[in-house]
Structure formats: C-alpha cells, structure tokens
Amino acid sequence: MEEIQILIFVESRYQVNRKRIRSLVNNLLKKQGVAGKAEVSIAIVGDRKMRELSRKYKGEDKTRNVLSFSQAEGEPVKNPSDALFLGDVVISYPQVIREASAQEVLVDEKIEELVEHGIMHLLGINHE
C-alpha cells in the first residue's frame, strides 16, 4: 500500500497527466521529510470555479492560477485513519494554458510548477 495518498480530481474536459502529478507529489513530500501515511488532494478546475473559491476564501473576485487550502494553516492534522491530511491544492486549467503559452513551456510543466508551489504552501513553506 502506498504511504502517501494523492487524490486527483480533474474536470472532465481537461487533459492532465495524473501519473506525472502523483510522482511529483510523492517525490516532493519525501524530499520534505513527510513520512508515514499522508493524504493530499489536487483539483484541476475551470476559471469559474477558481473565481468562486477566490471570492469565498480570499475575498477577491478574480481567477488565479493556484490556491492551497491547508487543513490547519501550517499545523497539519491527523484524520481518523491516522493519516496526515495536508490539505488541497486547486489549479485553474485555463490559467495554466494561458501561462504556459505566454512562458513558452509545456502545459504539464506549468501544472507541475503550480502543484509544487501549492504543496509547499501546505507544508508551511512560503515564497522565498
């Protein structure tokens, strides 16, 4: 059984390499010293959903590329299954497309960059 559970939700019209995301998250968490059972969720959504989350949780009526929702803002909590639940990372696919195009990088690379950014926030490691 895999120690780190990575739940990936993707709105059906978006093409995402789930295996690549799982591998990135696994490696990142191991590198950051997350050991034992842990769980994190990654959601790839559209701009409308992202704008709704941004409005609700950030008080900003705009879309953004990534949002992170830590379970306890810097203090990871144990859930009943004894797994460390780190939280959720939500990424806007349309924003990824725009940014990947503008930066001339692959969509998968942009998604990885944002997933990594979001995971670091969940671990309490913020902008350098």
For residue 66, the domain's CATH number is: 3.40.390.30
Q: Is residue 127 part of a domain?
A: no
Which structural domain range is residue 37 located in? 4-122
Q: What is the pLDDT of residues 8-32, one digit of tens each?
A: 999 989 999 999 999 999 999 999 8
Which of 113, 95, 116 lies closest to 40 in space, CA to CA?
Answer: 116
Cα 98 to Cα 14, 17, 32, 48, 103, distances in angstroms: 14, 18, 30, 15, 9
pLDDT at residue 1 is higher than 50? no
Q: Is residue 46 part of a domain?
A: yes
* Structure tokens, 18: 């789930």
The DSSP symbol for 118 reads: H
For the segment 45-100, what is each residue's pLDDT rounded down to a tens digit? 999 999 999 999 999 999 999 999 987 654 555 555 567 889 999 999 999 999 99
Tell me whether residue 41 is in a domain.
yes
Number of independent structural domains in the chain: 1
If 0-12 CB within 10 Å is exposed, 13-18 middle and 19+ buried, where does residue 89 land?
buried
